[in-house]
Chains A and B, each alone.
Chain A
Amino acid sequence: MAERLAVKKTYKLYVGGKFPRSESGRSYEVTDAKGRFLANAAWASRKDARDAVVAARKAVGGWSGATAYNRGQVLYRVAEVMEGRHAQFVDEVAAGEGVARAKAVSLVDEAIDRWVWYAGWADKIAQVVGSSNPVAGPYFDFSVPEPTGVVAVLAPQRSSLLGLVSVLAPVIVGGNTAVLTASAERPLPAITLSEVLATSDVPGGVVNILTGTLADTAPILAAHMDVNAVDLAGAAGDAERASALELAAADNLKRVVRAPEAEPDWIAEPGLERITAYLETKTVWHPVGV
């Protein structure tokens, strides 16, 4: 029997619930940790970043307006679909990160568990960080967390799935929408996650995933006046780039989650900081005794 011809994949971007090619028409080769060819990925340009922000902005109303309970259900469904793609994620993590198979399995398990963990927070975060405030007067007031809007996320460069989940899930669990740039050299788990999102119940535009270099898209996203917050995790260890991005983000007072000096170990317990980083507190006054 003749040897079967390899089906080499050429992936596209994920913007507004669709999979468009890069406006630039460019793509680049993704290799495994040993330099062997894995697939072609789309090389996003500044205009793809612009389109992604438009799609994310369009999705804010519906996603932030959904009940927290519903958002939790939708996110839990994503974890279910990820579980179905478990083997594919393991292959991609093992090849991209150059780790042993057993290690890759545990990383994928941890990533899915983390997604479930964040999904659970959807309808609990308001109880924990919100409050009802007795004040010195014949009335009462409430503080409730609200999403900040469109968040640009630079996904970690090294941890291609666990790190990715750890930065993406906390953005959308609070009702924000995301424009995410995947790890430049290890984008395959992010691309597979986009296929997961497209086949689960997450509305189009809530998560938009760009592949390519940070140099092409990160400065555009950081300076974009219609982006409300930016997570610089993907610029970890590159202080020069990180400070340039922070400077660009200052123009419209974006919330900035700063880049760490080195990429952290994502295995550690995450805490709520990444959720609350993208929430605004709204306090409303409420008359009592009427």
Chain B
Amino acid sequence: MLDDARLSDIASSEASLRRFLHGLPGVDQTGAEARAATLATRSIKTTAKQYAIDLAISMIDLTTLEGQDTPGKVRALCAKALRPDPSDRTVPQVAAICVYPDLVATAKEALAGSDVKVASVATGFPSGRTSLAVKEADTRDAVAAGADEVDMVIDRGAFLAGHYGAVFDEIVAVKQAAGDAHLKVILETGELATYDNVRRASWLAMLAGGDFIKTSTGKVAPAATLPVTLVMLEAVRDFREATGRQVGVKPAGGIRTSKDAIKYLVLVNETAGDDWLDPDWFRLGASSLLNDLLMQRQKLTTGRYAGPDYFTLD
């Protein structure tokens, strides 16, 4: 059990952080991959599939993070977030829209009066290679524009060099700058090289006060994978057991089909438990996934296979 005294003790110096993080049990790579692969074979059909599809839709952070994003595109995406399938009112809304900071105000306006949140990436996304002052300013900008959630990137260079204290302090500082906004910490697992590092980075982000841990920016391959998400789900489960605080998980990038999404939901249920099967605690960062979920949903309700011609291009 990690009480507050023990937690502040861990955070007190880089040496104690390193001692703690390197004291975490190592990840059995083969075991984690085999476990994820086994769970991925679960067959989810008929009513369970219907439930899973609706749940997955309600967990989506509908994302557009391109240099070519325009206010018009963001407004279109917001309209889609509110009514994913205009021909069917029973489709749930997505959890949030995820955009660059300069488009937060546009999204906020388009989503005014709805429950759909606006998430903004910040802190020099996607590489995070700016000074702390710039990162804090970036975060404050996004929050001032109305962002409900901030997706920050960690300094992978510092993490890989072993400067855990620097990474920790940065997350704390951004958390402060974000104020009441929910803080999602992007670990960019594709750059962390090992599952052990993923586990350590997850704990580091949670110790520093992150509300969510997120796999990737979507700009680096590989992005979210099942074994990486498994390791992160184990981390949030163990963290809640140790501290009593629940932290959410968000795989992002590379999740394109309903089948993929359902695999993640199975993984959540079997690893962290159904407390996490909720948009408040689990999100899917995706853009093209939504259309596939809608097509599968239409297949279930109408009995005929749907075609992409009947869904928006975005």
Q: Which residues of A are in contact with B by a Cβ distance under 8 Å?
A: 50, 53, 220, 223-227, 248, 251-252
| A87 CA / B303 CA spacing, docked (Å) | 44
- CB of A223 within 8 A of CB of B303, answer yes
- Tell me, rounded to whole Å, the shortest Cβ–Cβ distance linking A229 to chain B: 13
| A220 CA / B305 CA spacing, docked (Å) | 8
| A126 CA / B303 CA spacing, docked (Å) | 38
| A242 CA / B109 CA spacing, docked (Å) | 52
- CB of A252 within 8 A of CB of B307, answer yes
- CB of A226 within 8 A of CB of B306, answer yes
| Sample of 19 A–B contacts (CB below 8 Å) | A50-B305, A220-B304, A220-B305, A223-B303, A223-B304, A223-B305, A224-B304, A224-B305, A224-B307, A225-B306, A225-B309, A225-B310, A226-B305, A226-B308, A226-B309, A227-B307, A248-B304, A251-B304, A252-B309
| A285 CA / B305 CA spacing, docked (Å) | 36
Neighbouring B residues of A251 by C-beta, 8 Å = 304
B284-314 to A contact mask, C-beta < 8 Å, 1/0: 0000000000000000000111111110000
| A86 CA / B91 CA spacing, docked (Å) | 55
| A248 CA / B303 CA spacing, docked (Å) | 11
Interface residue SS majority, chain A: helix
Q: Which residues of B are in contact with A by a Cβ distance under 8 Å?
A: 303-310
- CB of B304 within 8 A of CB of A226, answer no
Neighbouring B residues of A50 by C-beta, 8 Å = 305
- Tell me, rounded to whole Å, the shortest Cβ–Cβ distance linking B171 to chain A: 43
Excluding A53-B305, A223-B305, A225-B307, 17 further A-B contacts by CB distance (< 8 Å) are: A220-B305, A223-B304, A224-B304, A224-B305, A224-B307, A225-B304, A225-B305, A225-B306, A225-B309, A226-B305, A226-B306, A226-B307, A226-B308, A226-B309, A227-B307, A248-B304, A252-B310
A225, closest chain B residue (CB): B307
| A84 CA / B304 CA spacing, docked (Å) | 41
| A223 CA / B299 CA spacing, docked (Å) | 11
Neighbouring A residues of B304 by C-beta, 8 Å = 220, 223-225, 248, 251
| A50 CA / B296 CA spacing, docked (Å) | 12
- Tell me, rounded to whole Å, the shortest Cβ–Cβ distance linking A161 to chain B: 30
| A223 CA / B303 CA spacing, docked (Å) | 9
- Tell me, rounded to whole Å, the shortest Cβ–Cβ distance linking A151 to chain B: 14
| A249 CA / B233 CA spacing, docked (Å) | 46
> For B304, B308, B309, B310, which residue has the most chain A Cβ atoms within 10 angstroms?
B304
> For A53, A224, A225, which residue has the most chain B Cβ atoms within 10 angstroms?
A225
A226, closest chain B residue (CB): B307
Closest 9 pairs (CB-CB, A-B): A226-B307, A225-B307, A223-B304, A224-B305, A225-B306, A50-B305, A225-B310, A225-B305, A225-B304
Neighbouring A residues of B307 by C-beta, 8 Å = 224-227, 252
Neighbouring A residues of B310 by C-beta, 8 Å = 225, 252
| A271 CA / B304 CA spacing, docked (Å) | 34
| A53 CA / B309 CA spacing, docked (Å) | 14
| A252 CA / B309 CA spacing, docked (Å) | 10
- Tell me, rounded to whole Å, the shortest Cβ–Cβ distance linking B314 to chain A: 18
Neighbouring A residues of B306 by C-beta, 8 Å = 225-226
- Tell me, rounded to whole Å, the shortest Cβ–Cβ distance linking B45 to chain A: 12
| A252 CA / B298 CA spacing, docked (Å) | 14
Neighbouring A residues of B303 by C-beta, 8 Å = 223
Neighbouring A residues of B309 by C-beta, 8 Å = 225-226, 252
- Tell me, rounded to whole Å, the shortest Cβ–Cβ distance linking B234 to chain A: 33
A251, closest chain B residue (CB): B304
Neighbouring A residues of B308 by C-beta, 8 Å = 226
A53, closest chain B residue (CB): B305
Neighbouring A residues of B305 by C-beta, 8 Å = 50, 53, 220, 223-226
Neighbouring B residues of A53 by C-beta, 8 Å = 305
| A54 CA / B286 CA spacing, docked (Å) | 22
> For A53, A224, A251, which residue has the most chain B Cβ atoms within 10 angstroms?
A224
- Tell me, rounded to whole Å, the shortest Cβ–Cβ distance linking B87 to chain A: 12
